[in-house]
Chain A
Amino acid sequence: MEKSSQGADTILTFRTLIICAVLLFVTNTVQAADQLLYFEAQGIAGYSSELRKPVYYSMNPDAEMQKPSVGFDYLKRFSGESGDWGTFALQARAALTINGLDGANGIKWEPQVYNAYFKVKTPGPYVWVGHNRPAFGLGSYFDSHGLLLRTLAVQGFGYDRDWGGGLSKDFSWGDIAASLTTGSGMPVYTKGNSMAAARISYGVLSQDNFNLGFSLGYGNTLDTMGYNLLDQKPQEMRLAGADLTILRNSFEHRFDVLTGTWLNQDTYALMYRLGFNVDPEGRLKIEAQPTYWKFGDEKKWQAAFCISSLVTSNLTVRMMYQYDHNRSDNSVVLQFYFYMPVI
């Protein structure tokens, strides 16, 4: 069984790489000005005091977040004679999982898909289908793809990306968004699972320097980590959340709180991220983030500290220290993130 699973992983990895290669070939020959393609690669290495050994992931070897990987980020706009009408986005990478939790390091390649959606402009809202952000909380608009610090969705309360569809509409005072997704995260399962979410926010961040959002979510969702299904049965989800972002001078404040039922457990979780841009170009940033949650009987808190530096035109280096209270784990992770325009 394990052998066939590894075989399937290998096939998926090759499929992802082939798609990547085809896209690179096609886009290079077309050379149109309505598309962007970026190559990305990252290296991750750290140390865990709990494991007393080096680690090569930012969160968990089974989770989909930062691991040594190579991939691409592609965006294409579709236009008619009177303007744009659609956008296609595809962001994928092949990640190297080095699992050292149980003694000897196990190594495998894994394809990971992040953005994979088609968005259409209608007379009313934008409508998207594919793999995109559910309309819940800070993670619904804040891009955490390359970041070491985790939003609540990345931490496991919701999904950073999910398969399905959604719509959004911007107004002068803020925006509204709704989504109906599978409630499974990166993998697609049909076990009666679904997740409906909606968010309304006040303030346009890039103009007003603040955004206050309220979210509601309802459904039956699956407990997954990366591509692994942890429980076959969908569990009840009923969540309400609020998030707030404030930008002022060199400081960034981000709050996210949610409460209700997640995976059939009474849950509340909150995080606060304080960021300080050291220089006027944002090349060096210092961030601190405490996170606390109660999930069923489990209470837990973490504190993280991160330094990010844009070192060259394409290379960002981040270092995160994190203390996990329940595991009494002190960990340090260093990330080299390379992101280069191809076209």
Chain B
Amino acid sequence: MNRKIKDFPMIKHIVLALFLVFAFYTAVFGAVGCDLNDPDRDVARLFPESTGYKTIYTSILKKGGETLLTTVETRLGVKFQGIYETIDVPYTIYEIFTNKKKIGYIHGVNQKGQFGGIQVFLVLNLEGTIRGFYIQKMTSQYAGKLRDQKFGKQFIGLTIKDFANYDAVLGKSSGKVDAIKNPAPEAEADFRAALRATKKNLILMDEFVLSAQPVQSSEGGTK
């Protein structure tokens, strides 16, 4: 059993292959979607008057390709990056119904947090005004404070216009967004991530659904 690594020629190849993989590690991207953990339970909780929902899949690639990606990045004020923001990331939009009448949307996005990805869902009426804010996944030890309803209530009534001046890089804003208080100062990175995710979420919903612009053809986009 006391063999040395030179007795395992395959190991050397594997180690070399892994080294090469990690050497190119900076060029990392990945397509990661964002679904409600349990749509039946969550839709009923977030939209008490709902009787049903439809699940719609879309992506920036499908809706407008590189052109749409540029538009979204410009509105966000920062380039998309990393595994949660590739052009082909599938986005799940829940259309909410009362009987056969559509009454709103629920949409979530993934966002890089302090200790891993966080998932920020917005509950929107048909005009795009936030009527609910919900952090699903967050593994931070301070997650409870950011998931608390008191924190979420600060977002109710806000729209994409309120977030237009929010600087997603510096984490600064003015007006209603600036008034949102961080309940966990120890988790400043996650607080900022939640605000960036909210702005990203609103922009994507505006582009995907609310502004109802015709789909633009572009290189890389599906027809």
Q: Are A334 and B18 in contact (CB under 8 A)?
A: yes
- B212 at interface by CB-CB < 8 Å: no
A112 to B84, CA, bound (A): 30
Is residue A303 contacting chain B, with contact meaning CB distance below 8 A? no
* A15 proximity list for chain B (CB < 8 A): none
Task: Give the Cβ gap from A329 to chain B, nearest Cβ, in Å.
Answer: 10
User: How far in angstroms is the closest Cβ of chain B from A326?
Assistant: 13
The distance in angstroms between the C-alpha atoms of A250 and B190, with both chains bound, is 13
B56 touches A33 (CB 8 A): yes
How distant is the Cα of A121 from the Cα of B55 in the complex, in angstroms?
A: 13
Residues in A with CB closer than 8 Å to B57 are 33-36
The answer, among A175, A283, A328, for a CB contact under 8 Å with B83, is A283
Report B78-109 residues with CB < 8 Å from chain A CB.
Answer: 82-84, 86, 88, 90, 97, 99-100
The answer to whether A207 touches B136, judged by C-beta atoms less than 8 angstroms apart, is: yes
Residues of A in contact (CB 8 Å), total 52
B116 contact from A54, A250, A334, Cβ within 8 A: A250
Q: Is the interface of B mostly helix, strand, loop or mixed?
A: loop
Taking CB as reference atom, which chain B residue is nearest A205? B37
Q: Which of B7-15, B124-132, B162-170 forms part of the interface with chain A?
A: B7-15
Known contacts A172-B41, A247-B139, A311-B25; A281/B54 CB under 8 A: no
Min CB–CB distance B60 → chain A (angstroms): 12
- Residue pairs across A and B with CB atoms within 8 Å: the count is 146
Among the listed B41, B56, B82, which residue makes an inter-chain contact with A281, where contact means beta carbons less than 8 Å apart? B82
A36 touches B115 (CB 8 A): no
Asked whether A82 lies within 8 Å of B51 as measured between CB atoms, the reply is yes
Q: Is A82 in contact with B117, judged by CB distance below 8 angstroms?
A: no
Q: Which residues of B contact A313 (CB under 8 A)?
A: 29-31, 83, 86, 88
Complex interface residues of chain B between 26 and 83 (CB less than 8 A to chain A): 27-31, 37-41, 45, 51-59, 62, 82-83
Contact for B40 among A170, A248, A249, A250, CB less than 8 A: A170
Contact B37 A207 (CB under 8 A): yes
Please state if A47 and B10 are interface contacts (CB–CB under 8 Å).
yes
Q: Is A260 an interface residue (CB 8 A)?
A: no
Measured between beta carbons, the chain B residues less than 8 angstroms from A31 are: 222
For the complex, give the distance between the alpha carbons of A170 and B1 in Å.
Answer: 50
Chain A residues in 8 Å Cβ range of B62: 33
**What is the bound-complex CA distance between A227 and B144, given in angstroms?**
46
Q: Which residues in B have their C-beta under 8 angstroms from that of A34?
A: 54-57
A330 to B10, CA, bound (A): 12
Listed from nearest, the 8 A-B pairs whose CB atoms lie closest are A83-B52, A47-B10, A313-B29, A82-B52, A170-B38, A206-B37, A249-B115, A247-B139
